[in-house]
Structure 1
C-alpha cells in the first residue's frame, strides 16, 4: 500500500468490472497463506468488494505489480535453539475512514520461525487506544494458548512459558494490575481472560518498543525502508538458488522449498 493512502467506500467513481475485482482479490487471498507481506493490503481491499472504486482497483494493480516483482520471495525456516513460543500484537487505532474501527495484526514465532499471522479489522469500535491494544493482545493470547495446547497434545511440551509482546504501556499495566477501573468494565472479559493466563503462569506479557514491533506490517502501510526491515524480521527472504535455472533443468517441483 502507498504510504499514507486512506481508502474509503465512496472515494472515487465505481469500477465497472466488479467480477474482475472479485476474482483478483480472491486469488490474492490464497496467496496470503504463504506471503504474509501482502496480508494487510489484501485484507484492506477485501473490505470494499461490495462496491469497488477506481482508487481500489489502482491499489490492487499496485499490489499485483509488487507480487510480480517478488515472485521468489518466501518464508525461510531454520533450526534454532531454544525452542520458544512468542507472539507479537499491534494495531492501528480507529484507522478506518468509514466506521472508525481499528486494524489488528499479530504474528507468532515457534522456535524463532514464523508459523502463523493475522491481519483483520476489529469487530467493535474501541473508545481508547489502550482498549483497542488490549483486544489485539487478547487475540494473540488465544493463538498462543491454542498452539501450546497442540504441542502438549503431540507430547512436545515447551520448556518456557509463551510470551506475548505488547508495545502499549497501558495494556501492559492493565494485564498485570489486579485493580479494575470503571473505564475498563466494557472489556472485562478480555481482561479476565489474559489475567487468568498470567496468574496460572501459562503466559507472560512483556513490553516491547514500537520500533521493534514486528506485527506492525499487518496493521498499516509503511515506508519502503520500514517495510523491508519488517519483512526481514519476519523471516521473509529470497531463495539462495537460481529458481529459473533449476526449473529449466526440469528439476522436480516437489524438491523446491519456499
Structure 2
C-alpha cells in the first residue's frame, strides 16, 4: 500500500460513482502507484472518514485498476502515510484548437478580428515543447512578432509538424512568465508562426513531462529550499 487517502463521506460517494484518472489527487500520486497484472500492485487506499469500506486504486501506463475492501482495519497499514483531502473536480482540458494560417496579430487567433471569423472546425493538438518568454516579450510576440522570424522557433523546428493520419498538430506552446494564455505554433519548417492557435488558459493544457525552455531574460522559478531543523545544542 502506497498511501491512504481519507475523504469526507460526500466526496467518497462522489468518487465511487465515477473514478476518473483526471482527478488531481490521482495525478499528484501517480509516481507512487504501479500496476503489474498478475504481479505486484502499489495502490492508494481511499476511504471515507469514520467508515470501514474502502477503495483500492492502482494506475498502470494507460488505465486504472480498481478494487474494493470491506474493512480497512484488516489491512496492515503500519508505516503507510495518510492524507486527508477535499476532492477536487477533474480538470476540463483543452483538447482541440483552431489553427490559422499566417496570423499577424493575436486578434487573428482569439476571435477578436471580425475579418477572420472563427471557423467551426477544430483539430486536436499535442504540445511537444514549451517556450516561456518574459511578459514584455510575449506581448510583443502577440502583437507584432507572429509574422517575424523567432530564434526559438528555428531552434525547435523539429518539435512542430502536422500528422495527416491522426489530424493532429504537434506544436510549440509559447507563453509568458505570469499570464495564463498562450499561443500554439507550428512553424512548418520556417522560423515564424506559419500556423498558430490561441490557448486561453495554459493550465488546461496537457503539459506533463513536456520540456520547458525559458528564453532570456525569462527565468525558471526558483525552487524553495526545505528548511532543515536545527539540532539541539548539547
TM-score bin (small chain): under 0.3
* TM-score under structure 2 length normalisation: 0.25
TM-score, normalization by structure 1: 0.23
Structure (1 or 2) with the larger CA radius of gyration:
2
Greater relative CO (CA pairs within 8 A, separation 6+): 1
More helix, by proportion: 1
More strand by share: 2
